Amino acid sequence: MIRVAPGSEPNSNSDKVVGGEPGWRDVWVLLDAAAFSEETLRKLYKLVSTRFPRPYWLQLWVTTSLDQLKTPEQLDQPVHSLMPDNPAWDRHHWAFIERSRSKEIIRYNPSPPKPEMKTITLRAKEKNRK
């Protein structure tokens, strides 16, 4: 079951227009650690992407432990980076999945507590060749 976290509605930012549409959508998923696999992430991306076709820019965060999540008060604080600053992230599986006009990627930690990430390119925009 996928639960869309509060705050997963489209974020609009008048300074940011992506593919003619303002904003992006962030979706957070807490996944059972036993179910975490590349195959599950691919299926999850397909389900969430179908459920949220707009706005086109989609960021999907997948965590496997409540320790990786911030409280609502922590989420209200300014963010200086997209990368997690919580050490619990590397102790558990997690993934970042992005859909944009130029690419669709899955980036995940296959072997916690090692911080190495694996990237799967589902789609990449072809560069113009002369």
User: How many structural domains comprise the chain?
Assistant: 1
Structure tokens that stand for 31 in this block: 């996944």
Least confident of 6-10, 27-31, 55-59: 6-10
pLDDT mean over 1-10 = 47
Does residue 100 belong to any structural domain of this protein?
yes
Residue 78 lies in a domain: no
For 43, the enclosing helix (H) or strand (E) is helix 38-51
Q: Is residue 26 part of a domain?
A: yes
Task: Give a yes or no: residue 4 inside a domain.
Answer: no
pLDDT digits over 84-100, tens only? 567 777 899 999 999 99
Task: Indicate yes or no: pTM above 0.75.
Answer: no
CA-wise closest residue to 88 among 74, 70, 108, 61: 70
Domain around 120: 17-68+84-124
User: Which residue from 39, 44, 41 is spatially nearest to 2, judged by alpha carbons?
Assistant: 44
Residue 46 lies in a domain: yes
Whether 76 is in a domain gets the answer no
Distance in angstroms (rounded) separating the CA atoms of residues 29 and 58: 13
pLDDT tens by residue, 14-31: 345 555 555 788 899 999
Considering the domain boundaries, does residue 2 fall inside one? no
Nearest to 61 by CA among 109, 23, 101, 123: 109
**How far lies 6's CA from each of 3, 19, 92, in Å?**
9, 25, 23
* pLDDT at site 65: 92
* Cα angle value 94/100/105 (rounded, 5°): 40
